[in-house]
């Protein structure tokens, strides 16, 4: 199963593959990108400058990093923080508090989390504070160093910043920005959010204390740079244990980039979404096919990965329906065509179905009404049809109005792929009037 | 059978064992295993598996995780309907704590919010020093959409929030498109479990053949069963239930000595009407399994009443006429009353009304409300004998409302002229009219 390599390296082929997988998976799944993220040099410089001013010079600051999902906001911030912490003075002094809007759903929880991350639980003890501001002031006071002259700089990182704006009175935001404006302690408030209109969410008093400094990450690179990123993400670094294997691998990646079909796949992905995260998903799917027997990524792997990413889920669900349920969907399609998309009820659908059975069908058996109702309810359970209003006792089940959540083209496509579809059903679907 | 699943991280023995248990799901299993990677490697933070009911989603995931002894927690989101239950179940399973009489059925620790969950999870991970990926499986994930808003987004990016090696697997019948949130979220890897084809269903159903009879006999039985039920229902669970119920009836001629195993035509003739009857009763859960078995044991045709059978309701003489009058009032337009009821005194042929109902679209739209006076007018005209308007008649109307055969439309306190609507179908009326 494993081939013995030359004597200089003590790694077998299998172990090389395993190590490659480990390293690349860390990159794609756990976002451990080596070096700077591509294409964001100016933003990187800006943010680093800002944080240096707080950490080294003691100046308070606030900034918002804004960008769509997967644009690389957290990646950028982590990169900048790593670079910052390389300075010894900074590493010893600066404190970090990481808050997340998904976790701290309340200002009270947020305050407890801040206390915990600053390791001040013992200092606070059982004290009861009158207001949020008092509590925060006490915490920051407690951070002052022994000689009471200067305080340690604190970096507050607020992930999902827009969710904090939905808290009651926005107390946490108000107090943090307040502290960053007054000269008490050097504090940097960094918010990360995906909403471009985040400033509209802030109250007037909070907005006025914010410095209005925003860093936008809008993935504004072109296709050529996208290809570069693709190559860089897949390449093994220089310090990989087996140099020969790494060189072979990188050579293979380079030839992949020049392949026509791979370029088409990447072009398709680039046109639908440019962000890093969808690229990582594609690369992860391609990487998962690499094994000892299949030691390099081929263009077919990428094609297969692309196909998996862009599959139509509803078509797959339609593929698994029984013939009776499919007939009901076609009956609904006809109703939609005749009545221009107005909602219908089960009785109308059953009527259409009966017309088909009596006039045109040879292969579909005439089922009893309760059996047809059960099929209709199955469609409702799969959320292919949606009731116009909630379940009510007033109207009977058969007369409640529903809407079909499928498009005509989806239905016709599904019929093409349906296994062993009876021909009279197909003809009924294609005919203009039921 | 050639070895179809290969994986470096797990032993050959385990893989063969898994392969035997998971029939017809080889490609899905190999895909899942390739995404999981070796136990200590990172896997994609969230995976979303969708497919029809009984396509093996829960079974495959469970078997894979158990056989390969990967640390995991299995949850059903319908069962754990609040966030507290969800978190505590996960923590209990991860530290192998089960509520029992010893610890007074308590959980490992109390965990209310997502923040606490992350903190406790991190503590647990530090304690256990787990090197391999932990998997959290959330079954019936569509229920998460109705719970707290931060749960779905939080679980999608659990790996990032916890900072460790954990993957969350979501299983659902509903497609991912219906889960997306307005401000976006971390997109999971989407895997489809396609429905079984007819041949695969045959293969799987033949696996639980009775040891007393040959596999070929059971295979021909399954063939007949699928012939009747395949166009209505493809759910493996339902088909297995029906197969188990009807097998004794199928083997009856063999037991009695009337036919041999190779006499397929005879066996088919015996069982087919039986299966057709099953479709109307047991398939619709109109009668219970024990009732069905009892019916099979007794010779001859027993007309067993289903749950929604009309003969369950015994109405007094005048109530029947009131209900018929209500039906006529609901489904006939008011202006047609004069035509119907003035010319024909007393004896009204119901067949005339049948033909007229077919043409009106009222029949499809549902019953219309009518005032009390109209009901009484129609009632007096269809009852043969002269009836005095006593309180008896009015109280019968209220009892029909209580039985939900009539529905009260409008406000409760409209005592002057209450409006009603007929709440039963035409078949019911026809059954009563006999």
Residue B232 Cα distances to A320, A361, B227, B243, B329, angstroms: 12, 16, 10, 15, 36
Which chain A residues touch B231 with a CB distance below 8 Å? 322-324, 364-365
Which chain B residues touch A163 with a CB distance below 8 Å? 150
Average pLDDT, chain B: 82
Instruction: Look at B232 and A322 and tell me if their CB atoms are within 8 Å.
Output: yes
Q: Give the closest residue to A328 by CA, choosing from A428, A432, A433.
A: A428
User: Closest Cα of chain B to A253: distance in Å?
Assistant: 20
Q: Name the percent of chain B lying above pLDDT 90.
A: 27
Q: Tokens 């993220």 identify what position? A: A37
pLDDT tens, position by position, A264-286: 999 999 999 888 889 999 999 99
- Give residue B302's pLDDT: 54
pLDDT tens, position by position, A366-398: 888 888 999 999 999 999 999 888 766 666 778
Both tokens assigned to A329: 């969907």
Question: Could you give all domains of chain B from N- to C-terminal order, each with its CATH number?
Answer: 12-192 (3.40.50.300), 198-305 (no CATH), 317-433 (1.10.10)
Nearest chain B residue to A25 by CA: give it.
B42
What share of residues in chain B are helix, strand, coil (percent, to 5)?
50, 10, 40
- What average pLDDT score do residues B311-316 get? 70
- Give residue B1's pLDDT: 38
Instruction: Look at A29 and B159 and tell me if their CB atoms are within 8 Å.
Output: yes
Which chain A residues touch B230 with a CB distance below 8 Å? 322-323
What is residue A151's DSSP assignment? B
Q: Tokens 């015996």 identify what position? A: B270
- Give residue B352's pLDDT: 52
d(CA B280, CA B303): 12
Which chain A residues touch B191 with a CB distance below 8 Å? 308
Instruction: Look at A163 and B118 and tell me if their CB atoms are within 8 Å.
Output: no
pLDDT tens, position by position, A307-333: 999 988 998 999 999 999 999 999 999
- Is the Cβ–Cβ distance between B228 and B279 less than 8 Å? yes
Nearest chain A residue to B44 by CA: give it.
A29
Which chain B residues touch A109 with a CB distance below 8 Å? 113, 115
pLDDT band at B348 (very low <50, low <70, confident <90, very high): very low
Q: Give the closest residue to A233 by CA, choosing from A292, A180, A286.
A: A286
pLDDT tens, position by position, B205-229: 888 877 788 888 888 889 889 988 8
Average pLDDT, chain A: 86
Is the per-residue pLDDT at B2 higher than 50? Answer: no
Instruction: Look at B284 and A383 and tell me if their CB atoms are within 8 Å.
Output: no
- Is the Cβ–Cβ distance between B381 and B321 less than 8 Å? no
Is the per-residue pLDDT at B328 higher than 90? Answer: no
Nearest CB among A105, A314, A395 relative to B175 is that of: A314
Q: What count of Cα atoms within 13 Å lies in the side-chain half-sphere of residue B334?
A: 9
pLDDT band at B417 (very low <50, low <70, confident <90, very high): low
Instruction: Look at A105 and B114 and tell me if their CB atoms are within 8 Å.
Output: yes
Instruction: Look at B115 and A103 and tell me if their CB atoms are within 8 Å.
Output: yes
Is the per-residue pLDDT at A183 higher than 80? Answer: no
Which chain B residues touch A394 with a CB distance below 8 Å? 407, 409, 421
Which chain A residues touch B31 with a CB distance below 8 Å? 288
pLDDT band at B354 (very low <50, low <70, confident <90, very high): low
Instruction: Look at B364 and A103 and tell me if their CB atoms are within 8 Å.
Output: no
**Which of the two residues, B314 and B31, has the higher pLDDT score?**
B31
Nearest chain A residue to B51 by CA: give it.
A317
Dihedrals φ, ψ of B420, to 5°? -125, 170
Instruction: Look at A395 and B366 and tell me if their CB atoms are within 8 Å.
Output: yes
d(CA A163, CA A100): 9
pLDDT tens, position by position, B65-79: 998 889 999 999 999
Which chain A residues touch B153 with a CB distance below 8 Å? 102
The predicted model scores a pTM of 0.89
| B353: number of Cβ within 10 Å | 17
Per DSSP, the residues of B287-302 read: S-HHHHHHHHHSSS--
Instruction: Look at B192 and A313 and tell me if their CB atoms are within 8 Å.
Output: yes
Instruction: Look at B187 and A277 and tell me if their CB atoms are within 8 Å.
Output: yes
Residue B38 Cα distances to A396, B29, B287, angstroms: 55, 14, 50
pLDDT tens, position by position, B146-182: 998 899 999 999 999 998 899 999 999 999 999 998 8
Q: Give the closest residue to B353 by CA, choosing from B431, B434, B430, B419.
A: B430
B130 in helix, strand or coil?
Answer: coil
Q: Name the percent of chain B lying above pLDDT 70.
A: 87
- Give residue B76's pLDDT: 94
Instruction: Look at B153 and A102 and tell me if their CB atoms are within 8 Å.
Output: yes
- Is the Cβ–Cβ distance between B406 and B423 less than 8 Å? yes
- Is the Cβ–Cβ distance between A401 and A350 less than 8 Å? no
Is the per-residue pLDDT at B204 higher than 50? Answer: yes
Looking at the DSSP assignment, which residues form a beta bridge with residue A202?
none
Is the per-residue pLDDT at A144 higher than 70? Answer: no
ipTM, 2 dp: 0.91
pLDDT band at B351 (very low <50, low <70, confident <90, very high): low
- Strands A187-193, A154-159: pairing kind: parallel
Contacts across the A-B interface (CB distance below 8 Å):
172
Which chain A residues touch B158 with a CB distance below 8 Å? none
B273 in helix, strand or coil?
Answer: helix
CA quadruple A141, A143, A146, A148: dihedral sign: negative
Q: What count of Cα atoms within 13 Å lies in the side-chain half-sphere of residue B75?
A: 31
pLDDT tens, position by position, A106-122: 988 999 999 999 888 87
User: DSSP E strands: which ranges in B140-223?
Assistant: 166-172, 189-192
Instruction: Look at B154 and A68 and tell me if their CB atoms are within 8 Å.
Output: no
What is residue B188's DSSP assignment? P
Instruction: Look at B233 and A322 and tell me if their CB atoms are within 8 Å.
Output: yes
């Amino acid at each position: 199963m494993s081939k013995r390599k030359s004597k200089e390296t003590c790694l077998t082929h299998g172990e090389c593959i395993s190590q490659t997988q480990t390293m690349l998976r860390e990159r794609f799944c756990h976002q451990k990108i080596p070096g700077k993220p591509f294409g964001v040099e100016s933003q990187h410089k800006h943010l680093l400058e800002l944080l240096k001013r707080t950490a080294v010079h003691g100046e308070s600051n606030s900034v918002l990093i804004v960008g769509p999902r997967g644009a690389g906001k957290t990646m950028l911030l982590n990169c900048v923080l790593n670079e910052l912490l390389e300075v010894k003075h900074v590493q010893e002094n600066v404190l970090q508090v990481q808050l997340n809007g998904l976790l701290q759903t309340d200002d009270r929880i947020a305050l407890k989390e801040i206390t915990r991350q600053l390791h001040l639980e013992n200092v606070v003890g059982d004290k009861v504070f009158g207001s949020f501001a008092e509590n925060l002031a006490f915490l920051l006071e407690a951070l002052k160093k022994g000689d009471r002259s200067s305080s340690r700089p604190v970096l507050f990182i607020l992930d999902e910043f827009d969710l904090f704006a939905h808290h009651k009175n926005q107390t946490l935001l108000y107090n943090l920005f307040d502290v960053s404006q007054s000269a008490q302690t050097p504090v940097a408030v960094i918010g990360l959010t995906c909403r471009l209109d985040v400033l509209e969410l802030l109250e007037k008093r909070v907005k006025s204390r914010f410095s209005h400094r925003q860093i936008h990450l809008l993935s504004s690179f072109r296709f050529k740079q996208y290809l570069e990123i693709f190559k860089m993400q897949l390449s093994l670094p220089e310090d990989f244990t087996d140099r020969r294997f790494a060189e072979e691998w990188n050579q293979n990646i380079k030839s992949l980039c020049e392949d026509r079909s791979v370029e088409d796949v990447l072009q398709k992905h680039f046109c639908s979404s440019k962000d890093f995260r969808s690229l990582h998903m594609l690369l992860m799917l391609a990487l998962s096919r690499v094994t000892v027997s299949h030691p390099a990524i081929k263009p077919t792997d990428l094609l297969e990965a692309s196909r998996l990413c862009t599959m139509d889920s509803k078509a797959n669900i339609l593929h698994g329906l029984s013939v009776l349920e499919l007939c009901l969907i076609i009956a609904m399609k006809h109703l939609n065509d005749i009545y221009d998309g107005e909602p219908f009820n089960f009785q109308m659908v059953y009527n259409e179905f009966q017309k088909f059975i009596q006039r045109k069908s040879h292969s579909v058996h005439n089922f009893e009404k309760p059996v047809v109702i059960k099929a209709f309810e199955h469609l409702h359970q799969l959320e292919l049809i949606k009731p116009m209003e909630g379940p009510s006792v007033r109207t009977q089940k058969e007369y409640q109005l529903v809407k079909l959540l499928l498009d005509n083209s989806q239905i016709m496509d599904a019929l093409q792929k349906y296994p062993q579809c009876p021909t009279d059903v197909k003809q009924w679907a294609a005919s203009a009037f039921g | 059978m050639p070895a179809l699943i290969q994986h470096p991280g797990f032993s050959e023995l385990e893989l063969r064992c898994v392969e035997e248990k998971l029939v017809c799901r080889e490609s899905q299993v190999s895909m899942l295993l390739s995404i999981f990677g070796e136990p200590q490697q990172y896997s994609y933070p969230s995976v979303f598996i969708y497919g029809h009911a009984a396509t093996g989603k829960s079974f495959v995931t469970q078997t894979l995780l158990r056989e390969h002894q990967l640390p995991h927690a299995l949850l059903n989101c319908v069962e754990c309907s609040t966030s507290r239950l969800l978190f505590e179940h996960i923590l209990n399973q991860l530290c192998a704590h089960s509520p029992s009489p010893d610890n007074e059925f308590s959980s490992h620790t109390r965990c209310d919010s997502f923040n606490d969950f992350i903190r406790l999870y991190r503590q647990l991970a530090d304690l256990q020093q787990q090197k391999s990926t932990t998997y959290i499986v959330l079954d019936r994930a569509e229920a998460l959409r109705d719970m707290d808003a931060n749960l779905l987004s939080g679980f999608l990016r659990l790996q990032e929030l916890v900072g460790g090696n954990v993957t969350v697997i979501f299983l659902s019948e509903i497609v991912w498109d219906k889960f997306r949130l307005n401000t976006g979220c971390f997109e999971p890897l989407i895997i489809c479990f396609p429905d079984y084809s007819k041949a695969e269903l045959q293969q799987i159903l033949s696996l639980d053949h009775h040891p007393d009879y040959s596999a070929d006999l059971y295979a021909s039985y399954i063939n007949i069963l699928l012939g009747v039920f395949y166009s209505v229902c493809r759910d493996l669970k339902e088909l297995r239930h029906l197969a188990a119920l009807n097998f004794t009836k199928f083997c009856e001629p063999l037991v009695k000595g009337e036919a041999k195993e190779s006499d397929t035509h005879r066996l088919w003739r015996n069982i087919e009407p039986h299966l057709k009857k099953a479709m109307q009763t047991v398939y619709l859960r109109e009668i219970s399994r024990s009732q069905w078995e009892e019916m099979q044991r007794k010779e001859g045709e027993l007309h067993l009443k289903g749950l929604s059978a009309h003969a369950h309701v015994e109405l007094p003489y005048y109530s029947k006429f009131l209900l018929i009058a209500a039906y006529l009032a609901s489904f006939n337009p008011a202006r047609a009353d004069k035509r119907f009821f003035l010319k024909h005194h007393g004896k009204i042929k119901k067949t005339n009304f049948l033909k007229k109902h077919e043409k009106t679209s009222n029949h499809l739209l549902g019953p219309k409300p009518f005032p009390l006076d109209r009901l009484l007018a129609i009632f007096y005209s269809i009852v043969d004998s002269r009836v005095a308007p006593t309180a008896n008649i009015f109280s019968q109307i209220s009892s029909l409302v209580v039985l939900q055969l009539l529905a009260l439309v409008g406000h409760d306190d409209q005592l002057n002229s209450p409006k009603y609507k007929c709440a039963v179908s035409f078949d019911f009326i026809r059954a009563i009219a006999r």
